[in-house]
Structure 1
Amino acid sequence: MNGLLTGLLARRETGLLEEIEKLENRIIRMENEADAECWLLEDDIRQARFEADCKLIGEYEEGIRTGLPKEEILRHW
């Protein structure tokens, strides 16, 4: 009887260890996905800043071309 009980407990422990390992692997995958999404968001932010800077430079250049005084151009910013 003790041998049977020990065997059942050992199998249960092995099953629990396997489940823990699966959960750990899942957590690692989720962390990796979150890191990748973070990098993508940072790239999006950099791109948005670049586009905003380009727009501002374009507006500044347009103001210069149209002959607006520097104070007038800068007031729009």
Structure 2
Amino acid sequence: MRPVLVALAVLALPACAGKLEKATRTQAAADFNCGADKLKIRGDEVYGKYHVAGCGQKGVYSAQCLMGDCSAQRLKGE
């Protein structure tokens, strides 16, 4: 049973990563008052952490999904 759960989790990670990045892009666009298409997003080695730059601003975001609802918030001090 455990190998099946691990396999399912590995298959789900890429789908989740796309949702996390989308949530980060949406939040950063609002925070920066900048078009989402003008943002450059780079994933960090820490899962769910993203470095965002665009429109003369930059910030670090933490994104998460809980029961299919994904959100991101800017980390202060980074």
> Same fold by TM-score, threshold 0.5 exceeded?
no
Ranked by relative contact order (alpha carbons within 8 Å, sequence separation 6 or more), the top structure is: 2
More strand by share: 2
More helix by share: 1
Larger radius of gyration: 1
